[in-house]
Structure 1
Amino acid sequence: MQRPNDVVADLLQEYADLMAITGGEAFKVRVYEMAARSVGGYAQDISGMNPAGLRRIPNVGTSIAAKIDEYLRTGAIHQLEELRGKVPAGVRRLTTIPSLGPKKAMTLYEECGIGSVEGLEAAIRAGRLHGLHGFGAKTEENLLHGIALLHKTGARVRLDVAMEVAEEIVDALSAVPGCERCAYAGSLRRMKDTIGDVDILATAADSAALMTVVQGLPAVAEVIAHGETKTSVRTDTGLQVDLRVVAPDSWGAALQYFTGSRAHNIRTREIAVHQKLKLSEYGLFDVASGDRIASVDEEEVYGRLGLPWIPPTLREDGGEIEAALHGELPILITDADIRGDLHTHTDLTDGLASLEEMVAAAADRGYAYYAITDHAPKLYMQRMADAKALAQRDQVRRLDGACGGMRLLHGTELNIGPDGEVDWPPEFLAGFDMCVASIHSHFSQPRPEMTRRLVLACENPCVNIIGHPTARLIGKREPVDADWAEVFAACARTGTALEINAFPDRLDLPADLVRLAQRAGVVFAIDTDAHAVPHLAHLRYGIGTAQRGWLTPDRVINSWPLSRLRKFLRKGRSA
């Protein structure tokens, strides 16, 4: 299901993790981690590359290229298999707990016999870690918090992971002779942050061929259940996929039903009952006569209930039924409305592609404008300096308009320090076309301090956008604690946009806060935070999050014409 690049990237990251667990040298671990990022972010498909071609990928040297080549030829890396044999699976599972590193995971196994997440939680609560070097009270508290976060995420996967699986299955089934329609439904169609399982719907006169195909897909590791109209399988990544084949004349009702959410479906069924109708996955029926009166298309089903078609991303019983009844559904932002990306990186800092490569890829997407926002000096590991930023600015000015007329903005991603200060003095920042400011450290500040920190960043006349505002990493780091009403008020007052970061492990600002911020008068930027060419395609996930927050195009600054955007970016400063 995954791109070959992503599969190999996962293997290299696993190699790095296992080396760290078994006491490998730190610099070698870092080399493999960097190679994993580079391979995952490489635009070209690596499956047909020879070792010489693989060595042209940044951070991939001779040894790593040989391992990748071995995997591409044989389907395995023998040194990785050897490392797997040295580390119990439970210890590898322990390393998925936020705040627990590989060395401490191995310590827990060797000194306490702890080889599972459940075992660690029980040991902490029983006081069995008391006196164990490196495991003080604060560490135990952090571990319990990390375990809770892990349980909260559970078996759910990121939106992009589920989307790749679903789209590949839909493509495969759509190519089967006799398949009339095929689409994904469920929480994936509603673009939720994480997905528990994937629901696929199809219509066909004969379901047998579709059932056979889905069971035989290369990524299917297990057939959970098999029947005439429903088959459930589990992929090699552990994701469950449920395929349902429905009659062609039930397509609309089935798609509406299996898209959900449950709460939304309860509301639509209530409307049906009040009209002496019955709504199910088979259609909309007249209770008295039993006649089916709507079922072929979703629009028909909603229309017969007296509702306009409701976009799937709104179907959460969050007021969409009332808005539909009153003709007040928003016209949601779509990919087609976006004129440019305002938060991206190059290999000048932690990106994987050159300025020229990123600009060319953005132009290929048809953007009218595009911003380069590499990291600023306070993110020390990126080694940014004044001279490097100014040299990049010269490059940006030379490329401006050279790719299909796309205009370029030279920006930077600043770091919001614990006191609310940002990198570089105002006179230097004034030379940038725009500035994104983000939190990259001190995530556990108390609520009043975190709120003041964000408000001060908004009040900075050089800051145009607050990047990934809650700083969350889905399943790994909780959002920072802030008084968001106060932050939103500061954004509206100062003319500072909030970002909806489309990177799949962020999706930040989350949809619930997007909706609240919009009510407070805030405007937004939907950006990819791309660190490689393939990341530019993540925009779709930011759009989905924005739609879930009921966001309309007029509130998104990178849907505006460049002239209006430039005026906004001046933030009250003179031209």
Structure 2
Amino acid sequence: MARPNEEVEALLNEYADLLAITGGDAFKARAYEKAARAVGGYHTDISRLDGKGLREIPGVGKSIADKVEEYLRTGHMKTVDERRAAIPGGVRELITIPTLGPKKAMLLYEELGISSIDALVGAIEQDRLRDLKGFGRKTQDNILHGVELMQQAGDRILLSAATDIAEETVTALREATGCDPRRCVYAGSLRRMRETIGDIDILVASEEPAAVMDAFIALPHTAEVIAHGEKKTSVRTVKGLQLDLRVLPPDSWGAGLQYFTGSQAHNIRTREIAVRKGLKLSEYGLFHAKSGRRKAAGTEEEIYAALGLPWIPPTLREDRGEVAAGLRGELPDLVTEADLRGDLHTHTDLTDGLSSLADMVAAAAGRGYTYYAVTDHAPKLYMQRMTDEKILRQREELRALAARHRKLRLLHGTELNIDPDGEVDWPGEFLADFDLCVASIHSHFTLDRTAQTRRLIRACENPYINIIGHPTTRQIGRRPPIDADLDAVFEACARTGTALEINSHPHRLDLNDEHILRAKHYGAVFAIDSDAHSTTHLAHTRYGVGTAQRGWLTPDDVINTWTWQRLKAFLSRKRRG
């Protein structure tokens, strides 16, 4: 079952969308979005809280708390129901298209009666939007690209959501009769840390498969049993996600784990090596082709060693040269979450964060970091209402907190907005007093390729900008990346000593793995940041690290694995010229 927190998060986000569609107060809509994030990430099951407890959640005031209480009590939120009734369902469907906002969706309905995605695509193909203000050819092309993104995503879910349900399932199964808790894991694309996941593969080693299968189908999130057998059972959860459980003989565990982790292309490479050695590789083991005698099966390490390979980390198993690198003894020593010494892009409730400065610093200290940067938004992101006075007061507060956290070096930074011409919010003399600056694109996503490339390169050349935040601006399944010559941007970052961010937020994972591989070729360095807007978001770095591993990064490639002395030298080098 979905946690009440997630149900209420979805409802509050929907209400914010409904407000936007009907032309409601933009700040009110923003408040509901902020409350939704806070509820979704809250550490306690909100169904156990009373009104006072709900109001202790950051961003949840009395009005929102009352609505949440109403939903928890009745299963409905009257204000949402009323707004839904006033807006055709098709219009709500339209705003799920990346690049199409609520105002444009309502205009399409009012002017042309378009109330479905299929109807919109048909109208574009028939050129019915040509006389509609704000729907020029570029906008129509962007809409079609947004629809394509949705279709590509299909029923796939974000890495973080898949991880949550997989870990919940594995934890429950480890208590089941007949399950070896040391050999109960998730595999497939989730183990390889793909950014979106289709089905989740769970593997268990057991001599009692029937007992494990029965425990699996009895889990609370099961809505439908698709197939139930001795070797494989498949269920569909209440959210429509398919989970496949495979029970392996204990003596085949390593072979099965290697096989079901994939990818298919990687497995083809390993089977080719096996064939050349007169062997046969399957989920049950590595066998001599002629005699059928088993050569290896118990662990993945045994399987790879018998093929003349070192163990290959799952995040590399995409047939991108990892097998050849293994044969040459040239696999990278991949960066891990334990290597991170700090986080260089985070927010507080001074702008759009949910947690106070003191709470964010305490949470960073609790993670054992050596250094930690607070980088709230700059003034040109107008909704955040930042001023010079506010940011300077925060700096003083941070300096005071430093006296209480002597083991944690606190850095005062900011996330700047990159204008269409590459300029940023504050002049150089003001930026000089920040410890570091992240610069990101937050607007004008549809500029042409030349303009987007130029603005990013100009930002790289700014001596006060240390990191380019979420460089392509994409949001998975929601917003496509900007059109820019990324190779030129990567070269500029390497030339100017500007790090590229791997934004760990599960909706972003930006840069993605393929971009990381390309950027590394130019000699660029990277920062794996959480972009945390609450204390719970600091843990998102696990997804950024997984993405970095898929991009073959080592600790030396990532600036926030470096010692403070080395990082400090990097941050100051640009300013010295």
**Per-residue displacement from partner, 1:262-285 (whole Å, max 9, x unpaired)?**
110000000011111111111111
**Per-residue displacement from partner, 1:243-270 (whole Å, max 9, x unpaired)?**
1111111111111111111110000000
**SS of residue paired to 1:573:** helix
**SS of residue paired to 2:416:** strand
8 Å Cα contact 1:42-1:352 kept in structure 2: no
Bigger shift: 265-274 or 247-256? 247-256
Bigger shift: 213-222 or 416-425? 213-222
What is the CA distance between 1:559 and its match in structure 2?
A: 0.6
What is the CA distance between 1:462 and its match in structure 2?
A: 0.7
**Per-residue displacement from partner, 1:375-433 (whole Å, max 9, x unpaired)?**
11111221111111111111111111523611100111111111111121111111011
Unaligned runs of at least 5 residues, structure 2: none
- Looking at structure 2, the residues matched to 311 and 401 of structure 1 have their Cα atoms a distance apart, in angstroms, of 41
8 Å Cα contact 2:59-2:354 kept in structure 1: no
Count of matched residue positions in the alignment of Structure 1 and Structure 2: 575
Q: Which residue of 2 aligns with 1:415?
A: 417
Q: Which residue of 2 aligns with 1:55?
A: 55
RMSD: 2.4
- Looking at structure 1, the residues matched to 510 and 381 of structure 2 have their Cα atoms a distance apart, in angstroms, of 20
- Looking at structure 1, the residues matched to 452 and 138 of structure 2 have their Cα atoms a distance apart, in angstroms, of 21
What is the CA distance between 1:131 and its match in structure 2?
A: 5.5
Amino acid at match of 1:226: H
Q: Which residue of 2 aligns with 1:267?
A: 269
**Per-residue displacement from partner, 1:139-179 (whole Å, max 9, x unpaired)?**
43332222112112222111111111111111111111211
**SS of residue paired to 1:421:** coil
- Looking at structure 2, the residues matched to 466 and 135 of structure 1 have their Cα atoms a distance apart, in angstroms, of 31
Correspondence for 2:240 among 238, 241, 265: 238
**Per-residue displacement from partner, 1:215-241 (whole Å, max 9, x unpaired)?**
232322222222222122222222221
What is the CA distance between 1:496 and its match in structure 2?
A: 1.1
- Looking at structure 2, the residues matched to 396 and 422 of structure 1 have their Cα atoms a distance apart, in angstroms, of 23
Q: Which residue of 1 aligns with 2:288?
A: 286
Q: Which residue of 1 aligns with 2:337?
A: 335
- Looking at structure 1, the residues matched to 142 and 485 of structure 2 have their Cα atoms a distance apart, in angstroms, of 23
- Distance 1:131-1:378 versus aligned 2 partners, 3 A rule: closer
Matched residues, percent identical? Answer: 65
**SS of residue paired to 1:526:** strand
- Looking at structure 2, the residues matched to 393 and 25 of structure 1 have their Cα atoms a distance apart, in angstroms, of 32
Q: Which residue of 1 aligns with 2:561?
A: 559
Q: Which residue of 2 aligns with 1:8?
A: 8
Amino acid at match of 2:175: A
- Looking at structure 2, the residues matched to 221 and 22 of structure 1 have their Cα atoms a distance apart, in angstroms, of 36
- Looking at structure 2, the residues matched to 461 and 24 of structure 1 have their Cα atoms a distance apart, in angstroms, of 41
**Per-residue displacement from partner, 1:20-68 (whole Å, max 9, x unpaired)?**
5577666654443332123224454433210112123233233321232
Q: Which residue of 1 aligns with 2:170?
A: 170
Q: Which residue of 2 aligns with 1:64?
A: 64
8 Å Cα contact 2:232-2:246 kept in structure 1: yes
Q: TM-score, normalised by structure 2?
A: 0.94
- Looking at structure 1, the residues matched to 460 and 413 of structure 2 have their Cα atoms a distance apart, in angstroms, of 17
Q: Which residue of 2 aligns with 1:510?
A: 512
What is the CA distance between 1:333 and its match in structure 2?
A: 0.2
Correspondence for 1:492 among 491, 494, 510: 494
Amino acid at match of 2:145: H
What is the CA distance between 1:489 and its match in structure 2?
A: 1.9
What is the CA distance between 1:540 and its match in structure 2?
A: 0.2
Amino acid at match of 2:224: E
Q: Does 1:433 align with 2:409?
A: no
**Per-residue displacement from partner, 1:443-485 (whole Å, max 9, x unpaired)?**
2222222222212111111111111111111112222222222
- Distance 1:440-1:274 versus aligned 2 partners, 3 A rule: same
| 1:285-364 matches, cutoff 5 A | 285-364=287-366
- Looking at structure 2, the residues matched to 199 and 205 of structure 1 have their Cα atoms a distance apart, in angstroms, of 19
- Distance 1:496-1:132 versus aligned 2 partners, 3 A rule: closer
Bigger shift: 437-446 or 183-192? 437-446
- Looking at structure 2, the residues matched to 517 and 338 of structure 1 have their Cα atoms a distance apart, in angstroms, of 20
- Looking at structure 1, the residues matched to 29 and 458 of structure 2 have their Cα atoms a distance apart, in angstroms, of 38
8 Å Cα contact 1:410-1:432 kept in structure 2: yes
- Distance 1:132-1:525 versus aligned 2 partners, 3 A rule: closer
Bigger shift: 545-554 or 458-467? 458-467
Q: Does 1:157 align with 2:157?
A: yes
**SS of residue paired to 1:68:** helix
Unaligned runs of at least 5 residues, structure 1: none
